[in-house]
Amino acid sequence: MFQQQFGFQRISNSKAEHCCVPFCKASSKYSKVLSFHTFPSDTETRLKWFAAIRRDCSRHFKKEDFRVPVFNTGRRMLKRGAVPELFEWNNYTHPGTEPMVWERKRSHPPLLDHDYASAPDPAVVDLALDENMSLREEILQLRKQIEEQTLNQRFGLHRFAGSDKDIRFFTRFASYDLLMRFWALIEPLLPSMVSVTQAQSGTFTEPSSPATPPLQPIDEMFMFLNYLALGLKWHDLADRYGVRQSTVVRTITTWSDFLYTVLGSVRIWIPEERIKEHLPEEFKDYGDTRVILDFMELRCQPSSPLVQSEAFSACKSHYTLKGLLGVAPHGAVTFISPLYAGSISDKQIMRVCGILSLLRPSMAVMVDRGFLVNDGVPCKIYRQPFLSGRFRMSAYEVRATQANARLSVHVERLIRRVKEHKFFDTEIPPQLIGSINQLYAVACLLTNYENRPLVKA
């Protein structure tokens, strides 16, 4: 079958030569590997040819009958006296002749298909599994080393774990121990945190850059506390933590919403009997005081003309938001109102914020002398000259009564606990206006966790 299919390979030639040996079908028309030779001119040799055959074809000569051609493209020449000896009737073989196509096919048996379903040697499988496990462990170790190197290089809480002074500076928490207690309180609730996407937060887009490893949750919280405690700019926080500014904005927004939900679910208004139990010595002459009230203001950048017209404060000559804050005598924040536009009056805030519904005739509130709200307050109001928003009293006021002086220092320290957050000194950008109430409330509520209460010795 092979001989019939591949036996004759036609080549282009101007003339064709044929072998004259009986039963030989070789022709230069169908094979370019054969050479054809005329009968020799030497009479004796010619007679020998005639005796052997009466035809000329190279495949009937032995390899040693040929002379090596001078050029590779030259025609092979027979040696003098060479006589054809290889014929079909004597089962000729010619190792020097390139086999025909069908001969090559027959000389190379077909390759057997691989049996992919056959089971491999168990020893080979065990060796491969051991090698895979070894490579996997090596990859895990390298990954762990990279994460540790990244962690050591990145700004985060781990750098300041041994310094309560640094913890106080960066977070306003009095000590690392207090910060870790707060973390233990909120960590179990982290799975319920909803991350704010860039589209939801309305932040700007930034050009693409190589991906950076995400921050650990505890470092995200640390970044959020840095923002409140130091009032750092987004660019500064992004450089410190090695992230994008958009990541900083999303982290601040996400954590303000999360902590607002967690901390805001705790009732902070304290019953009268508990206030009396922890009443500081400075308040011995004002034992019925339940809360110290003060107004808090934040500067902002309104995002629309309508908000600008409502937020402009003629007193401050700036766009502001204002809220009412209440602090118990022993230092706990017990009331936080929503923020209102800076153009609203103190009386209006008192009427709508909800504080009046918590006061009873048996109670007393203590306010700054600039706090001129008396109408509608259902209890006694202590308006002392030392509560004037100043950090120091005049020499006359200090000499007037030492008790009032001690009370002055104590109350100012209570209010300063909240205002120590530099967040209150910064100007709130438009991107955070939507989360300003959460940020403000969380900054005030954190005071209850950052410091130990100021109670009687």
Residue 31 lies in a domain: yes
The answer for residues whose C-beta is within 8 angstroms of residue 15's C-beta and 6 or more apart is 28
DSSP H or E stretch at residue 322: strand 318-327
| 288 torsion bin: left (phi>0), alpha (psi -120 to 50), beta (else) | alpha
Higher pLDDT, 376 or 115: 376
**Which structural domain range is residue 186 located in?**
156-264
pLDDT digits (tens, 9 = 90+) for 115-124: 555 566 666 6
Tokens of 250: 């999303």
pLDDT digits (tens, 9 = 90+) for 260-318: 999 999 999 999 889 988 888 888 888 899 998 888 888 887 666 655 555 655 565 66
Residue 117 lies in a domain: no
Q: Count of CB atoms within 10 A of residue 137's CB? A: 10
Q: Is the pLDDT of residue 41 over 80?
A: no
143 and 99 fall within a common domain? no
Please give the backbone phi and psi of residue 354, each rounded to the nearest 5 degrees, phi first. Answer: 105, 0
294 and 443 fall within a common domain? yes
| Contact yes or no for 49/39 (Cβ under 8 A) | yes
- pLDDT confidence band for 441 (50 / 70 / 90): very high
Number of domains comprising the chain: 4
38 and 183 fall within a common domain? no
Residue 118 lies in a domain: no
149 and 160 fall within a common domain? no
Mean pLDDT of the chain: 75
Residue after which a domain boundary falls, among 264, 281, 306: 264
Residue after which a domain boundary falls, among 237, 264, 291: 264
163 and 91 fall within a common domain? no
Q: Where are the alpha helices (DSSP H) in 172-271?
A: 176-186, 198-201, 217-230, 234-241, 245-264
- pLDDT confidence band for 2 (50 / 70 / 90): very low
DSSP state of 348: H
Q: Distances from the Cα of 336 to the Cαs of 169, 192, 291, in angstroms?
A: 24, 24, 12
Q: What's the first-to-final CA gap in the chain, in angstroms?
A: 113
Residue 121 lies in a domain: no
Q: Is the pLDDT of residue 321 over 80?
A: yes
DSSP state of 375: T
Specify the pTM.
0.59
- pLDDT confidence band for 30 (50 / 70 / 90): low
Residue after which a domain boundary falls, among 81, 110, 139: 110
145 and 69 fall within a common domain? no
166 and 243 fall within a common domain? yes
255 and 233 fall within a common domain? yes
- pLDDT confidence band for 164 (50 / 70 / 90): very high
Residue 99 lies in a domain: yes
Residue 331 lies in a domain: yes
Q: SS3 sequence, 277-293?
A: HCCCHHHCCCCCEEEEE
For helices 176-186 and 164-171, what crossing angle results, to 10°?
Answer: 60
208 and 345 fall within a common domain? no
| Contact yes or no for 438/262 (Cβ under 8 A) | no
Residue 323 lies in a domain: yes
* CATH code, 371: 3.30.420
pLDDT attached to residue 310: 57
214 and 290 fall within a common domain? no
Beta bridge partners of 320: 299
b/e sequence 299-316, b meaning 16+ C-beta within 10 Å: bbebeeeebeebbbbeee
198 and 294 fall within a common domain? no
163 and 290 fall within a common domain? no
Residue 100 lies in a domain: yes
